[in-house]
Amino acid sequence: MKEQAYFEQNRDKHLAELNEWLSIPSISAISEHKEDIQRAAQWAADALTRAGMENVEIIQTAGHPIVYADHLHAPGKPTALIYGHYDVQPVDPLHLWETPPFEPTIRDGKLYARGATDDKGQIFIHIKAVEALLAENKELPINVKFCIEGEEEISSPNLPIYLNDHTEKLRADMVLISDTSLLEKGKPAISTGLRGLCSMHVDLFTANTDLHSGSFGGGVPNALHALVSLLASLHDEQGRVSVDGFYDGVLPLSPEMREEFVKQGFNEEQLRQDLGLEQLYGEEGYSFVERVGARPTLELNGVWGGFQGEGSKTVIPKEAHAKITCRLVADQDPQQVLDSIEAHLRAHVQPGATLQIKQIEKAFAFNTDPTDPILQKAADAYEKVYGVRALFTKDGGSIPIVEKLSRVLGVPAVMMGFGLPDENLHAPNEHFNLENFDKGLLTVVEFMKSL
């Protein structure tokens, strides 16, 4: 492959360019980094221009900008919309970083920096794949559009608006995304499902003041008792969610999909030991990878109330609080799920207690058919480079914009990730294994050629 020689000859140059981008602290969640976000968007636009893309523009939104580019000179050939994001997570706690998060450093074949694997490093692969194809062939084998946003880490509030208003501009035959990971080193995977998400905040109130447990204990409702009892009613002893209607829209796992999970060869005993657990826990009848990839969940993310200081305080608290999130699958409707949970909570709350419930996030699950010829070609491309054909998986995480892009454009989303599960995305010492950077370039080129 002549593109391979191009990558090898320009590897140091390409990594130096990536380091420039990674040095920009484009943290979308923190307003003081607004200028950095603009700089990161401009850097992406300049990189696309250098690669040979056309119609490059920075599109301002009510929040952070979207970077668009296209190269549409392959009549009769498919069009790929390549999606990624240039914004990154905050870096706290800073003291746990071995090297500064925005001073990219290579150690042991790994590139350390915030955004290295999520997602600057992975979208950079696509920019350089296009650059190599144009440099070596003077043309692309397919039509290509780029859409790189700066708000993925804050749930993409403005891209759906732009998508709805400019659907034809973004029209394509597939959405190509690298923002996921291999199963493990040398074992590629294509995600055919991402779980949806919904969340709520629950406040429970009893008396109008905290009360002395000696004077009032046993005679008035205790907010903590009421909340603990209420939250315990959300699951049965087999790990299933007990909320009426929660499983509406959940489809049974097909034998083919279950076989794909088996092929992963996941070692549950090793996980148990690594986590220091007596045993794993979850919905009966499903393996660990099925539970976290293809089944819905309801989780308590925070529960608090009453006295939490040092020592003892014999008080009956007047209020207690909880945060709840759900991961959704298949055709579950996040609004319907939230409404069902709220109805359950109100129906089961103890006498003497009142509830205030605030519904927050809502995102549908993403699913695509692994038998789609485009996904099959993607699996073949991995095999040509890695020597192992990609397995089709379901991922437990949520990238809400993927479902929106696939649904609005009416096309499959091809989730070709090149990260690894242990690369600390969202955590201190985030990094990207350069072996997968190199192989990712070749895999994307193979995939585009195969189309």
pLDDT of 395 over the 90 cut: no
338/246 same-domain check: yes
340/396 same-domain check: no
- Could you tell me where the beta strands, DSSP code E, fall in 195-307? 196-205, 211-212, 297-305
187/206 same-domain check: no
Residue 291 corresponds to which tokens in the numbers above?
Answer: 């539970």
Cα distance between residue 329 and residue 333, in whole Å: 9
What is the CATH classification number for the domain harbouring 244? 3.30.70.360
Domain boundary among 363, 388, 421: 363
pLDDT of 192 over the 90 cut: yes
With H, G, I as helix, E, B as strand and everything else as coil, classify residue 444. helix
pLDDT at residue 430, rounded to an integer = 98
Q: What angle do helix axes 120-137 and 34-51 make, rounded to 10 degrees? A: 20
117/73 same-domain check: yes
Write the DSSP assignment of 5-21 as a string of letters. Answer: HHHHHTHHHHHHHHHHH
56/6 same-domain check: yes
pLDDT at residue 205, rounded to an integer = 98
Q: Rounded mean pLDDT of 358-381?
A: 95
131/104 same-domain check: yes
CB distance 364 to 334 below 8 Å? yes
- CA torsion angle 446 21 53 451 (round to 10): 20
Average pLDDT, the chain: 96
pLDDT of 440 over the 90 cut: yes
- Which helix (H) or strand (E) element contains residue 59? strand 54-59
Residue 100 corresponds to which tokens in the numbers above?
Answer: 């500064």
Confidence of residue 396 (pLDDT cuts 50, 70, 90): confident
Question: In which domain, by residue range, is 392 found?
Answer: 2-194+365-450
Render pLDDT for 75-125 as a digit per residue (tens, 0 to 9).
Answer: 999 999 999 999 999 999 999 999 999 999 999 999 999 999 999 999 999
Cα distance between residue 114 and residue 112, in whole Å: 7
Domain boundary among 343, 363, 383: 363
What is the CATH classification number for the domain harbouring 413? 3.40.630.10
Query: With the C-alpha atoms ordered 439, 440, 444, 450, is the resulting torsion angle positive or negative?
Result: positive
Domain boundary among 332, 363, 394: 363
pLDDT at residue 424, rounded to an integer = 96
Confidence of residue 227 (pLDDT cuts 50, 70, 90): very high
Q: What is the pTM of this model?
A: 0.88
Is the backbone of residue 410 left (phi > 0), alpha (psi -120 to 50) or beta?
left
Confidence of residue 1 (pLDDT cuts 50, 70, 90): confident
406/357 same-domain check: no
With H, G, I as helix, E, B as strand and everything else as coil, classify residue 266. coil
181/222 same-domain check: no
> How are strands ordered across the β-sheet holding 431-433?
105-107, 110-112, 431-433
Number of compact structural domains in the chain: 3
Write the DSSP assignment of 32-88 as a string of letters. Answer: GGHHHHHHHHHHHHHHHHHHT-EEEEEE--SSS-EEEEEE---TTS-EEEEEEE--B
Confidence of residue 301 (pLDDT cuts 50, 70, 90): very high
Q: Rounded mean pLDDT of 304-314?
A: 94
CB distance 167 to 404 below 8 Å? no
Render pLDDT for 250-293 as a digit per residue (tens, 0 to 9).
Answer: 999 889 889 989 999 999 999 999 999 999 999 999 999 999 99
pLDDT at residue 200, rounded to an integer = 98
Q: How far is CA 451 from CA 51, 76, 83, 142, in A?
A: 20, 11, 18, 7
pLDDT at residue 57, rounded to an integer = 98
89/131 same-domain check: yes
Render pLDDT for 238-251 as a digit per residue (tens, 0 to 9).
Answer: 999 999 999 999 99
CB distance 5 to 137 below 8 Å? no
317/225 same-domain check: yes
201/190 same-domain check: no
pLDDT of 128 over the 90 cut: yes
pLDDT of 18 over the 90 cut: yes
188/80 same-domain check: yes
